[in-house]
Amino acid sequence: MSKSAKIAAAGVVAGLVLIPLIGFWPSLLVIVGVPVAAYLMLDPFQRRRLRRIPRKEIGR
């Protein structure tokens, strides 16, 4: 798993843990925002490569 994928997964887990503490909408913002930030941290070549790969092959 790449470093960005680990960051995205950690953000989703953190958002799910935060639901009882800070409420649904702020935790939803964390769940959506962290993977988006991880995607934006990729360089243009990595983004292009990620868009070319079928969804089934991304997790391999």
Asked whether the beta carbons of 15 and 45 are under 8 A apart, the reply is no
Give the confidence band of 56 by pLDDT, cuts at 50, 70, 90.
Answer: low
**What is the chain's Cα-based Rg?**
13
Instruction: Give dist(CA 43, CA 27) in Å, integer.
Output: 27
pLDDT over 90, % of the chain: 2
Residue tagged 């680990």 (tokens) = 6
**pTM of the shown model:** 0.56
Could you tell me the residue ranges of all domains in the chain?
A: 3-53
7 pLDDT more than 80: no
What's the pLDDT score for residue 60? 57
Residue 34 structure tokens: 């962290």
Give the confidence band of 2 by pLDDT, cuts at 50, 70, 90.
Answer: confident
Q: Within a 10 A sphere around the Cβ of 8, how many other Cβ atoms?
A: 20
